[in-house]
Amino acid sequence: MDPTKSIIEIKDLTHTYSSGTPFEHTAVAHIDLSFHPGELAGIIGHTGSGKSTLIQHLNGLLKPTSGQVLFQGEDIWKDKKFTHSIRGRVGLVFQYPEYQLFEENCWKDIAFGPKNQGISGDELDARVRRAAGFVGISEALLEKSPFDLSGGQKRRVAIAGVIAMEPDVLILDEPTAGLDAAGRDAILENIRAYQAAQNAAVIMVSHSMEEVADLCSRLIVMNKGRVAMDGTPAEVFTHVDELTEMGLSVPQVTSVFARLRAMGLDLPADVYTVRYAVARLQERKGGRSC
């Protein structure tokens, strides 16, 4: 696959809910975006900014009111069979995915997705075990009922259920919501591992600026159904005032640096991770002592 070619492309997408009724509401309007294999993109935005509507278009769960979604250059709505097959190529993990577990043991639940794709036998078993490996679910747990697991483990089994379809594009809606720090780090590590191993495009919706700043190479900011910003975290987080106006924040370290700069210190504006901040500060300190 050509890495420079986009794997999924959104063209002038608009979606209107309950159109033709008094409850008509346009959730997203005139969106143009494209994603490349191997890309790790974060989508941030205020509640109701259209993030969830947008991602549900990428695997054909919602049909655009106008505009197109192209997967490897082909319209995903061109025929029914194609739309259905897209669901396996573009994996979507919903918010709180543990609430969709239903099988009697974890193995069966993870196998649900690939089975729907028509995979069976040894290949199915291999897929399930591979997916379980990505999210750190041990062989012993595969035999257990998903309802006996802890919250974090359930979440990982549910994510494995999507990963087992081995999608080229993996979309996650707030994968770390409601988890403790250790669970959060583990899941983010799992996502990165999958992305690296499959050269998949990963799109992550998040509320945590620290999380996307740390993980993503590209940030898309949604506001009122439109793409407000699209760039690297360094580019996006320099617009502190605009982000605040949209009801978003910047990583804490970025706001600390912004305050320091306002106080007249000569510091870089593109600081968004603690690691980077420490390196720059040490650089300065070293410079002064010389």
Partner 1 sequence: MLKDITLGQFFPGKSIVHRLDPRTKILLLIIYIVALFLAKSWCSYGLVLLFLIAVTCLGRIPFKAMTRGLKPMLVFIIFTAVLNLFYTKSGTKLLDWWIFEIWSDGIITAFFMVMRIMMLICGTFLMTYTTSPIALTDALERLMNPLKKLHVPVHELAMMMSIALRFIPTLIEETDKIISAQKARGADFETGSLMRRAKALIPILVPLFVSAFRRADELATAMECRCYHGGEGRTRLKVLRYAGRDWVAFLVGALLLAGVIVLRRLGL
- What are the start-end ranges of the E strands in 1-60? 8-17, 25-35, 40-45
Q: How many CA atoms lie within 13 A of 187 on its CB side?
A: 27
Give how far the C-alpha of residue 28 lies from the chain's centroid of Cα atoms, to the nearest Å.
Answer: 18
Q: Per CB under 8 A, which of residues 113..172 are in contact with partner 1?
A: 113, 116-117, 147, 161-162, 165
**In terms of CB distance, is 42 or 88 closer to partner 1?**
88
In whole angstroms, the minimum distance from the beta carbon of 92 to partner 1 comes to 4
**In terms of CB distance, is 6 or 59 closer to partner 1?**
59
Question: Which residue stretch of 111-119, 207-215, 222-230, 252-260 sits at the interface with partner 1 (rule: CB under 8 A)?
Answer: 111-119
How many amino acids of this chain bind partner 1 (CB under 8 A)? 23
| Phi, psi values for residue 271, rounded to 5° | -85, 125
* Residue 204 sits in the site that holds partner 1 (CB under 8 A): no
In whole angstroms, the minimum distance from the beta carbon of 235 to partner 1 comes to 31
Among 84, 192, 259, 285, binds partner 1 (CB under 8 A): 84
Among 6, 49, 53, 56, binds partner 1 (CB under 8 A): 56
Give every CB contact of residue 185 below 8 A, 6+ residues apart in sequence.
Answer: none
Q: How many CA atoms lie within 13 A of 1 on its CB side?
A: 16
> What's the CA gap between 100 and 92, in Å, rounded?
13
**In terms of CB distance, is 97 or 233 closer to partner 1?**
97
Rg (CA), the chain: 21
In whole angstroms, the minimum distance from the beta carbon of 65 to partner 1 comes to 16
One DSSP character per residue, 189-224 reads: HHHHHHHHHHT-EEEEE-S-HHHHHHH-SEEEEEET
Question: Which residue stretch of 3-11, 83-91, 230-238, 254-262 sits at the interface with partner 1 (rule: CB under 8 A)?
Answer: 83-91
Contact by Cβ (8 Å): 144, 108? no
Q: At what angle do helices 252-262 and 274-289 cross, to 10 degrees?
A: 40
Question: Which residue stretch of 55-63, 197-205, 211-219, 238-246 sits at the interface with partner 1 (rule: CB under 8 A)?
Answer: 55-63
The binding site for partner 1 (CB under 8 A) comprises: 56, 59, 61, 84, 87-88, 91-94, 97, 99-102, 112-113, 116-117, 147, 161-162, 165
